[in-house]
Amino acid sequence: MTTRANPLLLLHTWGGDAATWEPALRHLGAGGRHLKALDLPGHGVRAAEPFTVDGAVNTALSTSADVLHPVDVVGSGLGALVALALAQRHPDRVRSLTLVGFPPAGGAEAARRPADTRAALNRDGAALFARNYVDSTLLSADPAHRDLLRRSMAGTRPEVLIDSLRATLGWTAHTRPGPLGLPCRVLRGARDHRVPAAAADALAERLGGGSAVVPGAGHVAYLDEPEAFATALAAFHDGLRTAPAD
Protein backbone atom coordinates (compact mmCIF):
# COMPACT_ATOMS: atom_id res chain seq x y z
CA MET A 1 0.00 0.00 0.00
CA THR A 2 1.42 3.38 -0.96
CA THR A 3 0.83 6.64 0.88
CA ARG A 4 0.81 10.33 0.19
CA ALA A 5 3.25 10.66 3.11
CA ASN A 6 6.00 9.95 0.61
CA PRO A 7 8.15 13.11 0.31
CA LEU A 8 7.50 15.43 -2.62
CA LEU A 9 10.52 16.62 -4.64
CA LEU A 10 9.80 19.75 -6.72
CA LEU A 11 11.92 20.76 -9.74
CA HIS A 12 11.37 24.26 -11.11
CA THR A 13 10.69 25.55 -14.60
CA TRP A 14 13.20 27.09 -17.04
CA GLY A 15 14.70 30.26 -15.59
CA GLY A 16 13.05 29.59 -12.24
CA ASP A 17 14.37 28.55 -8.86
CA ALA A 18 13.09 26.88 -5.70
CA ALA A 19 11.37 30.10 -4.56
CA THR A 20 8.97 29.96 -7.51
CA TRP A 21 7.24 27.05 -5.78
CA GLU A 22 6.26 29.22 -2.78
CA PRO A 23 2.68 30.00 -3.89
CA ALA A 24 1.98 26.28 -4.36
CA LEU A 25 3.66 25.03 -1.19
CA ARG A 26 0.80 25.81 1.19
CA HIS A 27 -1.52 23.75 -1.02
CA LEU A 28 0.92 20.94 -1.70
CA GLY A 29 1.86 20.62 1.97
CA ALA A 30 -1.67 19.98 3.24
CA GLY A 31 -1.64 17.36 5.96
CA GLY A 32 1.97 18.04 6.87
CA ARG A 33 3.50 16.38 3.85
CA HIS A 34 7.27 16.77 3.57
CA LEU A 35 8.17 19.04 0.63
CA LYS A 36 11.52 19.81 -0.94
CA ALA A 37 11.90 22.40 -3.69
CA LEU A 38 15.48 22.64 -4.89
CA ASP A 39 17.59 24.94 -7.02
CA LEU A 40 18.93 23.21 -10.11
CA PRO A 41 22.58 23.94 -11.03
CA GLY A 42 22.98 27.49 -12.35
CA HIS A 43 19.82 28.68 -10.57
CA GLY A 44 19.05 30.29 -7.21
CA VAL A 45 21.73 29.56 -4.62
CA ARG A 46 23.56 27.49 -7.25
CA ALA A 47 23.78 30.41 -9.68
CA ALA A 48 27.56 30.15 -10.00
CA GLU A 49 27.42 26.52 -11.19
CA PRO A 50 27.19 25.49 -14.85
CA PHE A 51 24.06 23.68 -15.96
CA THR A 52 24.24 20.11 -17.23
CA VAL A 53 21.58 17.42 -17.14
CA ASP A 54 23.97 15.04 -15.36
CA GLY A 55 24.71 17.68 -12.72
CA ALA A 56 21.01 18.42 -12.26
CA VAL A 57 20.18 14.73 -11.82
CA ASN A 58 22.96 14.37 -9.27
CA THR A 59 21.67 17.43 -7.40
CA ALA A 60 18.18 15.95 -7.24
CA LEU A 61 19.54 12.58 -6.19
CA SER A 62 21.68 14.02 -3.38
CA THR A 63 18.73 16.08 -2.15
CA SER A 64 16.66 12.94 -1.64
CA ALA A 65 19.53 10.76 -0.40
CA ASP A 66 18.63 11.14 3.29
CA VAL A 67 14.96 10.26 2.75
CA LEU A 68 13.98 6.72 3.72
CA HIS A 69 11.14 6.34 1.23
CA PRO A 70 11.16 6.80 -2.55
CA VAL A 71 10.03 10.30 -3.47
CA ASP A 72 7.20 11.59 -5.61
CA VAL A 73 9.02 13.73 -8.17
CA VAL A 74 7.35 16.70 -9.88
CA GLY A 75 9.12 18.67 -12.60
CA SER A 76 7.95 21.61 -14.70
CA GLY A 77 9.54 22.51 -18.05
CA LEU A 78 13.29 22.24 -17.50
CA GLY A 79 12.52 20.49 -14.22
CA ALA A 80 10.44 17.92 -16.12
CA LEU A 81 13.47 16.97 -18.20
CA VAL A 82 15.54 16.51 -15.04
CA ALA A 83 12.73 14.60 -13.33
CA LEU A 84 12.38 12.21 -16.27
CA ALA A 85 16.13 11.61 -16.44
CA LEU A 86 16.20 11.01 -12.67
CA ALA A 87 13.36 8.49 -12.83
CA GLN A 88 14.98 6.61 -15.70
CA ARG A 89 18.46 6.51 -14.19
CA HIS A 90 17.49 5.91 -10.56
CA PRO A 91 14.03 4.28 -10.53
CA ASP A 92 14.65 2.88 -7.04
CA ARG A 93 14.58 6.44 -5.63
CA VAL A 94 11.34 7.48 -7.35
CA ARG A 95 7.84 6.33 -6.36
CA SER A 96 6.01 8.37 -8.99
CA LEU A 97 6.73 10.96 -11.65
CA THR A 98 4.73 14.02 -12.68
CA LEU A 99 5.81 16.05 -15.71
CA VAL A 100 4.29 19.51 -16.16
CA GLY A 101 4.45 21.78 -19.22
CA PHE A 102 6.31 19.11 -21.18
CA PRO A 103 7.42 18.08 -23.77
CA PRO A 104 8.62 21.23 -25.56
CA ALA A 105 7.39 21.92 -29.06
CA GLY A 106 9.72 20.91 -31.89
CA GLY A 107 10.12 22.12 -35.44
CA ALA A 108 11.89 25.03 -37.06
CA GLU A 109 10.75 27.60 -34.52
CA ALA A 110 12.07 25.50 -31.63
CA ALA A 111 15.36 25.01 -33.46
CA ARG A 112 15.76 28.79 -33.64
CA ARG A 113 14.91 29.44 -29.99
CA PRO A 114 18.44 29.21 -28.51
CA ALA A 115 19.84 31.67 -31.06
CA ASP A 116 16.80 33.94 -30.74
CA THR A 117 17.05 33.81 -26.95
CA ARG A 118 20.74 34.72 -27.01
CA ALA A 119 20.04 37.61 -29.36
CA ALA A 120 17.25 38.91 -27.11
CA LEU A 121 19.46 38.64 -24.01
CA ASN A 122 22.24 40.54 -25.75
CA ARG A 123 19.84 43.19 -27.00
CA ASP A 124 17.61 43.68 -23.97
CA GLY A 125 19.66 42.58 -20.99
CA ALA A 126 18.59 40.05 -18.37
CA ALA A 127 15.97 42.14 -16.56
CA LEU A 128 14.00 43.19 -19.65
CA PHE A 129 14.31 39.72 -21.18
CA ALA A 130 12.88 38.20 -17.99
CA ARG A 131 10.01 40.69 -17.92
CA ASN A 132 9.13 40.04 -21.55
CA TYR A 133 9.26 36.26 -21.09
CA VAL A 134 7.07 36.31 -18.00
CA ASP A 135 4.58 38.69 -19.60
CA SER A 136 4.26 36.37 -22.61
CA THR A 137 4.14 33.14 -20.62
CA LEU A 138 2.51 33.47 -17.19
CA LEU A 139 -1.26 33.86 -17.00
CA SER A 140 -1.46 34.50 -13.26
CA ALA A 141 -2.94 37.88 -12.40
CA ASP A 142 -1.08 37.90 -9.08
CA PRO A 143 1.91 40.25 -9.42
CA ALA A 144 3.74 38.41 -6.65
CA HIS A 145 3.69 35.20 -8.71
CA ARG A 146 5.04 37.05 -11.75
CA ASP A 147 7.75 38.74 -9.70
CA LEU A 148 9.03 35.39 -8.44
CA LEU A 149 9.79 34.16 -11.94
CA ARG A 150 11.06 37.54 -13.15
CA ARG A 151 13.55 37.80 -10.30
CA SER A 152 14.84 34.27 -10.67
CA MET A 153 15.20 34.51 -14.45
CA ALA A 154 16.88 37.93 -14.28
CA GLY A 155 19.37 36.49 -11.79
CA THR A 156 20.25 33.49 -13.97
CA ARG A 157 23.39 33.84 -16.07
CA PRO A 158 22.71 34.03 -19.84
CA GLU A 159 24.90 31.01 -20.56
CA VAL A 160 22.87 28.95 -18.08
CA LEU A 161 19.62 30.03 -19.73
CA ILE A 162 20.97 29.03 -23.13
CA ASP A 163 22.48 25.72 -21.97
CA SER A 164 19.36 24.69 -20.05
CA LEU A 165 17.11 25.73 -22.95
CA ARG A 166 19.15 23.64 -25.38
CA ALA A 167 18.95 20.68 -23.01
CA THR A 168 15.19 21.01 -22.65
CA LEU A 169 14.58 21.33 -26.38
CA GLY A 170 16.91 18.37 -26.96
CA TRP A 171 15.31 16.27 -24.21
CA THR A 172 15.28 13.07 -26.27
CA ALA A 173 19.09 13.04 -26.22
CA HIS A 174 19.04 12.79 -22.42
CA THR A 175 16.21 10.29 -21.99
CA ARG A 176 15.11 7.06 -23.60
CA PRO A 177 11.77 5.99 -25.05
CA GLY A 178 9.48 3.40 -23.57
CA PRO A 179 7.42 2.78 -20.42
CA LEU A 180 8.97 3.85 -17.12
CA GLY A 181 7.70 0.97 -15.04
CA LEU A 182 6.45 3.37 -12.35
CA PRO A 183 3.36 5.58 -12.00
CA CYS A 184 3.56 8.61 -14.28
CA ARG A 185 1.28 11.57 -14.97
CA VAL A 186 1.74 14.29 -17.59
CA LEU A 187 -0.01 17.52 -16.55
CA ARG A 188 -0.72 20.34 -18.97
CA GLY A 189 -2.24 23.73 -18.29
CA ALA A 190 -5.53 24.04 -20.17
CA ARG A 191 -4.27 27.31 -21.72
CA ASP A 192 -0.66 26.26 -22.35
CA HIS A 193 0.30 27.65 -25.76
CA ARG A 194 3.80 26.16 -25.62
CA VAL A 195 2.90 22.46 -25.24
CA PRO A 196 0.24 21.03 -27.59
CA ALA A 197 -2.33 18.77 -25.96
CA ALA A 198 -1.56 16.01 -28.46
CA ALA A 199 2.13 16.09 -27.53
CA ALA A 200 1.39 15.80 -23.81
CA ASP A 201 -1.01 12.90 -24.40
CA ALA A 202 1.48 11.14 -26.66
CA LEU A 203 4.26 11.47 -24.08
CA ALA A 204 2.03 10.04 -21.37
CA GLU A 205 1.21 7.04 -23.58
CA ARG A 206 4.88 6.60 -24.48
CA LEU A 207 5.86 6.49 -20.79
CA GLY A 208 3.04 4.15 -19.85
CA GLY A 209 1.21 6.76 -17.78
CA GLY A 210 -1.78 9.06 -17.97
CA SER A 211 -2.41 12.71 -18.68
CA ALA A 212 -4.55 15.40 -17.06
CA VAL A 213 -5.32 19.10 -17.44
CA VAL A 214 -4.91 21.91 -14.89
CA PRO A 215 -7.93 24.21 -15.41
CA GLY A 216 -7.16 27.87 -16.13
CA ALA A 217 -3.40 27.40 -16.15
CA GLY A 218 -0.88 28.11 -18.85
CA HIS A 219 2.64 26.81 -19.36
CA VAL A 220 3.82 27.21 -15.76
CA ALA A 221 0.78 25.69 -14.10
CA TYR A 222 2.18 25.69 -10.57
CA LEU A 223 2.53 29.50 -10.67
CA ASP A 224 -0.55 30.27 -12.75
CA GLU A 225 -3.03 28.23 -10.71
CA PRO A 226 -1.30 26.88 -7.57
CA GLU A 227 -4.45 25.51 -5.94
CA ALA A 228 -5.76 23.82 -9.09
CA PHE A 229 -2.29 22.42 -9.70
CA ALA A 230 -2.16 20.97 -6.19
CA THR A 231 -5.62 19.47 -6.65
CA ALA A 232 -4.58 17.74 -9.89
CA LEU A 233 -1.43 16.42 -8.25
CA ALA A 234 -3.33 15.20 -5.19
CA ALA A 235 -5.78 13.31 -7.41
CA PHE A 236 -2.87 11.43 -8.94
CA HIS A 237 -1.19 10.67 -5.63
CA ASP A 238 -4.46 9.70 -3.94
CA GLY A 239 -4.91 7.13 -6.69
CA LEU A 240 -1.56 5.64 -5.75
CA ARG A 241 -2.58 5.50 -2.12
CA THR A 242 -5.77 3.58 -2.85
CA ALA A 243 -4.21 1.22 -5.42
CA PRO A 244 -3.81 -2.35 -4.17
CA ALA A 245 -0.31 -3.41 -3.23
CA ASP A 246 1.55 -5.75 -5.60
3-state secondary structure of 71: strand
- pLDDT in the model for residue 66: 73
What is residue 152's DSSP assignment? H
For 187-237, write each residue's pLDDT tens digit. 999 999 999 999 999 999 999 999 999 999 999 999 999 999 999 999 999
1, pLDDT greater than 90: no
For 120-166, write each residue's pLDDT tens digit. 999 999 999 999 999 999 999 999 999 999 999 999 999 999 999 99
Domain 8-239, CATH homologous superfamily name and number: Alpha/Beta hydrolase fold, catalytic domain (3.40.50.1820)
4, pLDDT greater than 50: no
Q: How far is CA 130 from CA 16, 40, 125, 176, 204, in A?
A: 10, 18, 9, 32, 30
Domain positions in the chain are 8-239
Asked whether the beta carbons of 158 and 123 are under 8 A apart, the reply is no
Pinpoint the alpha helices (H) of 52-154: 53-63, 78-89, 108-137, 143-154
